[in-house]
């Protein structure tokens, strides 16, 4: 899942730069007079962002003091922790309690496109 990074946005232009689904949440938040960097992850209501995608996006931001706003459909607990550790403000469409592991297991068991584990049929000796 790719993350679009939009740098150096003045707070008064932020609402116009985010997808419509987030505008109400952004409108009610006070950012002060600081420039903001937007991390725009896939933001369909079914999208769940894993920590590996967040860590990859964060690695592309060289300045560790940038003011970050992260937008997504939903974040796993690990991805939320990584973003909060960098001081990011999080906005999501859904608020599910996923972990990276639990979401991957659900995708495997539901028959999604995630690689399924090999299950061997061991016969017991008698």
- What confidence tens digit (pLDDT) does each residue in 18-43 have? 999 999 989 888 888 889 999 999 99
| Stronger pLDDT, 20 or 124, i.e. the higher one | 20
What does the alpha-carbon distance between residue 52 and residue 22 come to, in Å, rounded to a whole number?
A: 23
Determine the pLDDT at residue 78.
94
Q: Where are the beta strands (DSSP E) in 33-100?
A: 36-40, 67-72, 89-92
Residue 120 vs residue 63, higher pLDDT: 63
Tell me the pLDDT of the chain averaged across its residues.
Answer: 85
Which residue, chain included where needed, has tokens 């991957």?
A: 104
Describe the chain by its helix, strand, coil percentages, rounded to 5: 35, 20, 50
Going from N- to C-terminal start, the domains of the chain cover 4-109
How would residue 16 be classed by pLDDT, with cut points 50, 70 and 90? very high
Q: Does residue 105 carry a pLDDT above 90?
A: no
Q: What percent of the chain has pLDDT over 90?
A: 54
Which strands sit side by side in the sheet containing 67-72, from one edge to the other?
4-9, 36-40, 67-72, 89-92
Over 60: is that where the pLDDT of 98 sits? yes
* Segment 71-77 mean pLDDT: 93
Question: What is the C-alpha separation between 34 and 89, in angstroms, rounded?
Answer: 13
Q: Are 57 and 2 in contact (CB under 8 A)?
A: no
Tokens of 91: 């906005």
User: 2-11, 65-74, 86-95, 108-117: which range is least confident on average?
Assistant: 108-117
């Amino acid at each position: 899942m790719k993350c679009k990074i939009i740098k150096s946005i003045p707070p008064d232009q932020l609402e116009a730069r985010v997808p419509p689904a987030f505008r109400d949440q952004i409108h009610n938040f006070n950012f002060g007079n600081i420039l903001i960097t937007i991390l725009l992850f896939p933001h369909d209501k079914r999208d769940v962002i894993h920590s590996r995608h967040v860590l990859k996006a964060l690695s592309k931001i060289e300045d560790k003091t940038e003011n970050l706003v992260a937008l997504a459909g939903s974040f796993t607990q690990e991805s939320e922790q990584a973003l909060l550790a960098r001081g990011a403000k999080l906005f999501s469409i859904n608020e599910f309690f996923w972990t990276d592991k639990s979401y991957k297991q659900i995708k495997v068991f539901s028959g999604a496109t995630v690689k399924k584990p090999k299950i061997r049929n061991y016969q017991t000796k008698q």
